[in-house]
Amino acid sequence: MYRKRRSTAYKDNAYRWNRENYSRTRRFFDIWFFVFSLMAGFWLNKKSWSYPGGVTEEKRIARRKEQAVWIRNTLLELGPTFIKVGQLFSTRADLFPSEYVDELAKLQDKVPAFSYEQVERIIEQELGKTTPELFHSFDPIPIAAASLGQVHKATLHSGETVAVKVQRPGLKKLFEIDLAILKGITRYFQSHPEIGRGRDWLGIYDECCRILWEEIEYLTEGRNADTFRRNFRAQDWVKVPRVNWRYTSPRVLTLEYVPGIKISHYEALEAAGLDRRALARQGAEAYLRQLLNDGFFHADPHPGNIAVTPDGALIFYDFGMMGQIKTGVREQLMKTLFGIAQKDAGQVVTSLIELGAIAPTDDMGPVRRSIQYMLDHFMDKPFENQSVSAISDDLYEIAYNQPFRFPATFTFVMRAFSTLEGVGKGLDPEFNFMEVAKPFAMEIMTNGNGSQGNTFLNELGRQAAQVSSTALGLPRRLEDTLEKLERGDMRVRTRSIETERLLRRQSSIQLGTIYALIISAFTLSATLLLINHYLWLAVISLLVAGGMGVVLTRLILQLDRYDKMF
Ligand SMILES: Nc1ncnc2c1ncn2[C@@H]1O[C@H](COP(=O)(O)OP(=O)(O)OP(=O)(O)O)[C@@H](O)[C@H]1O
C-alpha cells in the first residue's frame, strides 16, 4: 500500500534562514554581526580589567567556555552552512583553544525537518517521475533528519526496501550566499595584523568550500559508498549499503535499506547477545584497514554513522566526507608512529615535515625541542597504554599558536582515531586503540611488503642506513658550514638572560625618569591653579599626579626585584 500523509508538522519558522522572505542583505548583516561580536569578545578576553576582581587562569577558562556555548548556539541559528563549518572546525584543535573545539564537537544537526510535500517535489524534479510512480510505498516521516538532508524508508515496486536520502531544499542557494559572505570575512581575517599572522585563512576557507560542496553532491557520495563497499568486499563483518543508481541523482540518493542497532546503544547491543569487546576491536580494525591498507577512510565516524547487524557485522552509513591518504603518506604516518614509540623527536619532526603537517623553517630547533619535551614528559606510560586522544591533544597543544598548520587530512585522521577511541571505550572500558593498532600495523607492513620480511628489522636497517648516510654526509656539511662562515653568510643568534634583564632594568629607569617629570609638572600646575582659585582644575591636576605617583611606585618596586636577581 502506498502511504501518503500530508504533514505540516515539520514547518518550523523558528530559524530565520528557514523563512521564505529572509533576504540576502539581512543575512549579510546577521553574519557580520556575529563575527564582530565574536571579535569584540576575544578582544575583551585579553583585557585584564574586564575580569571583575582580577584575572586568573580559572576565570579565563570559564569565560572561554561561556563564549563557546554562545558560539555553538549562534552557529545553530545561522543554519546548515555554519553548522557544517562549526563541525569542521571541531577537528581543528591546532587552530582554536580546546574550550571552543570541545563545544563545537557537540554541534548537532538540530534543525527542523522539511515537509513531505517538499520531499515529493524534490524527488519529482530530480528523478523525473512522481513518488507513487517510483515507489510502492514511501514513509512520509523521516528515519533521520540532519542539516543537509533527511532519510526516508521506502519500498520499490520490485519489493526491495530502500533508504532514500533527500537533500534540504534551497541548500545550494544558501551555500552560495553564505560562502560569498564567508569569503569576505576570510579576506578580512587574512589581512588582519593579529588574526592573520601565521595562519593561512584563505587556504582553510578553500578547504572548507571543497568539503561542503562535495557533501551536497550525492553522486560523489554514491561513488564513495561503492568504493568503500569494494574495499571491504572480503570482510563479511563489515556491511556497506548498495547504491541504487537508477533512483539516484545529485540531490536524491537511494540505498539498500540496511537497518541495525546504533553502536552507542549499549543495552540494545547486549540484549541482542552481541559481544561489546569484540565490536570495539572490530571497529578499530575496520579503521586501521581503511587508513593503512586502502588509504580511503570514513572521515566522520561519529556513533550515529556506525550500526551493528543482528549477527554482529558493522554497518557504515554516510559517505559524504571521506579522506584519502596516498601510499607515501601512509609510510610517513608509520614513521611518525615509530618515532613516537622510540621517543625520537628528530624522527617525528622529519616525518611530520614530509607529511606536510608542519612547514620546515630556518630553525626547527624550538619545534623539535617541544616535541622532545612532550615525548619525554607526557608519554611516560608504555606506548600500548597511551590514548590516541591524549597524543593528538599533545600534538595540537604544540601546533596551537605555532607558525605552522596541520593539513585537513591529518586532522581528519586524528579526529577519526579519537572518535573511534571514544566509541571503543564506550563499548569496552578496557579498550585501548594503540594495543589493537600495534600488531595490526605490523601485520599490514609485513604483508604489504611481503618480500621484505620482518618489519622491525627493516625499520632498524633503514635507521642504520640513515645513521651511516648522515655520518658520510658529515664532512660535506662541515665544509658547507665553513664556507658560509668564510663568506660571512652565517648568522649567529645568542641570547643572554643577564643582558636582557639589564636592558629591561635600564628602560624601566628611563620610564621612571619620565614619570617623575610628569608628576612634577602636574604638581606645579596644581599649585599654580590653586593660587589662581581654579579649585577643580587643581584637584584634577593633583589626581593625575597622584595616579602617576602610584605607577612610579610600582615601577620602583619592580626595579628592586631586578636588583635582587643579579
Ligand atoms: N541504507 C540505510 N539503511 C538504513 N538506515 C539508513 C541508511 N542510510 C542512512 N540510514 C539512517 O539514516 C541516518 C542518517 O543517515 P546519513 O548519516 O547518511 O545522513 P546525513 O544527512 O549525512 O546525516 P549526518 O550529516 O548527521 O551524518 C543514519 O544514521 C541511519 O540511521
Q: Which candidate, 255, 12, 244, places its Cα nearest to that of 118?
A: 12
465, part of any domain: no
Residue 223's SS3 state is helix
- What is the number of the ligand 1 atom nearest to the C-alpha of 215? 22
Task: Answer left, alpha or beta for residue 343, where phi above 0 means left and psi between -120 and 50 means alpha.
Answer: left
pLDDT at 159 over 50: yes
Could you tell me if the CB of 544 is within 6 A of ligand 1? no
Q: Find the range with the poorest average confidence among 145-154, 182-191, 309-318, 454-463.
A: 454-463
- Cα(103) to ligand 1 centroid in Å equals 23
Q: What length is written for the chain?
A: 566
- What is the number of the ligand 1 atom nearest to the C-alpha of 257? 3
Could you tell me if the CB of 151 is within 6 A of ligand 1? yes
Picking from 193, 214, 235, the residue at the C-terminal end of a domain is 214
Cell numbers at 399, concatenated: 601546533
Could you tell me if the CB of 305 is within 6 A of ligand 1? yes
Whole-angstrom Cα Rg for the chain: 31
Give the pLDDT mean for 380-404.
58
Catalytic residue among 300, 311, 560, 563: 300
- Cα(151) to ligand 1 centroid in Å equals 6
Nearest CA to ligand 1 atom 31: 144
DSSP state of 15: S
Could you tell me if the CB of 212 is within 6 A of ligand 1? no
Strand 322-324 and strand 296-298: pairing?
antiparallel
User: Where are any strands of DSSP class E within 172-245?
Assistant: 238-239
Can you give the pLDDT at residue 37? 94
Can you give the pLDDT at residue 183? 95
136, part of any domain: no
535, part of any domain: yes
pLDDT at 63 over 50: yes
CA distance 229 to 55: 55
Q: Find the range with the poorest average confidence among 238-242, 273-277, 410-414.
A: 410-414
459, part of any domain: no
CA distance 475 to 477: 5
Give the pLDDT mean for 184-211.
84
Could you tell me if the CB of 242 is within 6 A of ligand 1? no
Q: Could you confirm whether 200 is annotated as catalytic?
A: no
Range of the structural domain that residue 26 is part of: 16-112+172-214
Higher per-residue confidence, 228 vs 341 = 228
The fraction of the chain above a pLDDT of 90, given in percent, is: 34
Residue 516's SS3 state is helix
Nearest CA to ligand 1 atom 18: 318
Give the pLDDT mean for 427-455.
65
Could you tell me if the CB of 318 is within 6 A of ligand 1? yes
Nearest CA to ligand 1 atom 5: 259
86, part of any domain: yes
Nearest CA to ligand 1 atom 24: 146
Could you tell me if the CB of 144 is within 6 A of ligand 1? yes
Chain segment 512-560, per-residue pLDDT in tens: 889 899 999 999 999 999 988 888 999 999 999 998 898 888 888 877 6
- Cα(307) to ligand 1 centroid in Å equals 10
Could you tell me if the CB of 196 is within 6 A of ligand 1? no
Chain segment 301-329, per-residue pLDDT in tens: 778 889 999 999 999 999 998 888 777 77
Chain segment 6-16, per-residue pLDDT in tens: 443 444 556 77
CA distance 317 to 341: 34
CA distance 4 to 507: 81
Picking from 214, 247, 281, the residue at the C-terminal end of a domain is 214
Matching residue, cell 561561556: 66
Q: Which candidate, 413, 417, 370, places its Cα nearest to that of 395?
A: 370
270, part of any domain: no
CA distance 431 to 422: 9
Can you give the pLDDT at residue 200? 75
Higher per-residue confidence, 263 vs 154 = 154
Cell numbers at 243, concatenated: 547504491
Say which amino acid occupies 54: G
Mean predicted lDDT score pLDDT of the chain: 80
Q: Find the range with the poorest average confidence among 98-102, 138-142, 178-182, 513-517.
A: 98-102
- Cα(254) to ligand 1 centroid in Å equals 11
- What is the number of the ligand 1 atom nearest to the C-alpha of 150? 21
Task: Answer left, alpha or beta for residue 217, where phi above 0 means left and psi between -120 and 50 means alpha.
Answer: beta
Cβ within 8 Å of residue 235, ≥6 positions away: 286, 289
Cell numbers at 369, concatenated: 625541542
Higher per-residue confidence, 49 vs 156 = 156
The fraction of the chain above a pLDDT of 70, given in percent, is: 76
- Cα(146) to ligand 1 centroid in Å equals 9
- What is the number of the ligand 1 atom nearest to the C-alpha of 255? 1
Give the pLDDT mean for 488-510.
65
Higher per-residue confidence, 377 vs 133 = 133
306, part of any domain: no
Cβ within 8 Å of residue 166, ≥6 positions away: 119, 122, 123, 149, 150, 151, 152, 251, 252
Could you tell me if the CB of 163 is within 6 A of ligand 1? yes
Picking from 186, 214, 242, the residue at the C-terminal end of a domain is 214
Q: How far is CA 185 from CA 16, 31, 100, 201, 289, in A?
A: 21, 9, 19, 10, 39
6, part of any domain: no
Could you tell me if the CB of 258 is within 6 A of ligand 1? yes
- Cα(304) to ligand 1 centroid in Å equals 8
Domain count, the chain: 2
Chain segment 4-43, per-residue pLDDT in tens: 444 434 445 567 777 666 778 889 999 999 999 999 998 8
